[in-house]
Amino acid sequence: MLRRVVLIKIAQRLGIPLANIGEALQALPDGRTPNAQDWERLSALWREDLDERINKLMLLRDKLNGCIGCGCLSMEACPLRNQDDKLAEYGPGAQLLEPTTQP
């Protein structure tokens, strides 16, 4: 039981939603301590999501000094990335970083 609590805390620190953690824990066996194969299956469930978030964070970090696609037009690079604020029609926020609709 303690291992599951530790897993929940670690997953939360990684930003995994509690609902996803609960779903993953349901895949673990009842009545016995999870083994290495159980943990491998569990981590595989989160790997793609974590890789995607890591890539987004690296993109944000690398573009922090320039335009990150927010549509603010406050930097010289913005007219090159978002001329005439055309991305505003797709909604607020960093449309090139996290598009809600394909620009």
pTM of this prediction?
0.56
pLDDT tens per residue across span 33-50:
888 898 898 888 889 989
Q: What does the alpha-carbon distance between residue 76 and residue 79 come to, in Å, rounded to a whole number? A: 7
Number of H helices, E strands in the chain: 4, 0
| C-alpha distances out from residue 29 to 1, 5, 24, 25, 74, Å | 12, 15, 11, 9, 53
pLDDT tens per residue across span 46-87:
899 899 999 988 887 777 666 555 556 555 556 666 667 777
